[in-house]
Structure 1
Amino acid sequence: MPWFSVCDVKEIPEGSFKTFTLLGKKVAVFLRKGELYAISVMCRHQGADLSRGARQGDIFTCPRHHWQYNLYTGECLSNASLSLPKYPVRVKDARIEVELGGQIYD
């Protein structure tokens, strides 16, 4: 699967994120302590957009049924078997790139 260039590194300040739609998948890229993370932001319960829910620290809460997910690991705190896919992310020529085909599961 190819790498998708999503934005300039400077567009995501420390502690924040931006969302992108890549091949029909909603993906968020986060910057935390200088490290980038890319994760699906579609709730595994009913497909709600987690980026529209509440965020408290490292946790997103689904706006529909309040399932909770760790932003950086993808772990579903409400149902451990329904964690979110994480994707490889890299910086190339000051651009952030995400590879959708290389899902990472811990």
Structure 2
Amino acid sequence: MAFYPLIKLHQLVDGYRASFRIAGREILLIQENGRSYLLDARCPHAGRSLAHGSCDGQILRCPAHGMGFRLSDLQCVEQPSLRLSRYPLAYDGDTLGIEL
């Protein structure tokens, strides 16, 4: 497995969102309520980027059609058959990243 650094821990604040293309995957890093999440960056409904979606701390909403995904399990609120993939967080000293 290779470690891909994403951000220094001191740069993470609530409301942070950034998408990264790593090993052919588009991944979204978000920080809400003091927790960091790595997930698919594209909505499975229409493939739109979630990087500019709204978030109330519990539900991430797609900016295109308003589909909501619970951060707790990444399941779609409106269409439970839709779900985002979660990626495990990896750390190297003071750097947050992903191992693939």
Q: TM-score, normalised by structure 1?
A: 0.76
Residues 1:76 and 2:73 are matched in the alignment: no
Q: 1:48: Cα distance to partner?
A: 0.6
Question: Aligned residue for 1:104?
Answer: none
Distance in structure 2 (CA, Å) of the matches to 1:50 and 1:80: 18
**Which of the two has greater helix per residue?**
1
Q: Which runs of 5+ in 1 are unaligned?
A: 101-106
Residues 1:18 and 2:56 are matched in the alignment: no
What are the residue-to-residue correspondences of 1:60-99 with 2, within 5 Å? 60-99=60-99
Q: 1:35: Cα distance to partner?
A: 4.0
Question: Aligned residue for 2:49?
Answer: 49
Q: 1:12 to 1:34 in 2, by over 3 A?
A: same
Runs of 4+ with deviation above 6 angstroms: none
Q: Which moved more, 1:30-39 or 1:2-11?
A: 30-39
RMSD of aligned alpha carbons? 2.0
Q: Which moved more, 1:43-52 or 1:24-33?
A: 24-33
Q: TM-score, normalised by structure 2?
A: 0.80
Identity of aligned residues (%): 24
Equivalent residues, number:
99
Q: Which runs of 5+ in 2 are unaligned?
A: none
Q: Which moved more, 1:26-35 or 1:2-11?
A: 26-35
- SS in structure 2 opposite 1:80? coil
